[in-house]
Amino acid sequence: MLSTVPTLFGALVLATLLHSVRRFKGFYRIALYIPNVTSIVAVSIFFGAVFSNNFGLVNAILGTVGISPVPWLSNPWLIKLVIALLMTWMWTGYNMIIYLAGLQAIPTQIYEAARLDGAGPIRTFFQITMPIMRPIILFTVIISTINGLQSFSEPQVMFGSNAANPNLGGPGQAGLTTLLYFYQSAFVNNDYGYGAAIVWAFFVLIMLLVVVNWRVVQRGRKS
């Protein structure tokens, strides 16, 4: 929730703004998409350094305005927030490209007819753009949810992952994700049967999301 909701909202806003841009559109596309093709390991190390409790850039900036250091990587809720910010930064551009392609596929005649009927930008967006984009938005919701469930490298790189570290995912295992839990069960605790059960449950959950996506899209097409 902390990553999917702001990612999709930000992607839709950026795609709408970029769709109306006349100049340098290619440059903006590349600039906003670069985070998605950046190494997850490099980004995780970077975010870990920026939000470091003692020497992080964020705490240094807060210190200049008299705010005491914030325990970003030791507080359970703040750990989740940092990981969510990382994933939001990486995946907003990817979803923006998908939304932009959907917006560009909408015939301009529909918008021209709406303007002739007196519809303003807000009404046009909610009564024309959103209904047409509904299958694409639902697709990105499912894909983003699956990506969130599959997160592994972010907490693994930030907080370490080896047999000598009993707290995978940070203090109190606040950043422990499903796949990192599978890794801990199978390859740290050597409980391969339980690890296999986790993966199968994860597979069933993903399949349920795919089925829901397909059913809703089909219902939207029939209507």
**Across 115-133, average pLDDT:** 86
Amino acid at 13: V
Q: What is the pLDDT of residue 222?
A: 61
Q: Which superfamily does CATH assign the domain made up of 4-222 to?
A: MetI-like (1.10.3720.10)
152-203 pLDDT per residue, tens: 888 888 887 555 556 677 888 888 888 888 988 888 888 999 999 999 999 9
Contacts of 4 (CB under 8 A, 6+ apart): 141, 144, 145, 148
- Rounded CA gap, 158 and 22, in Å? 40
pTM above 0.75, yes or no: yes
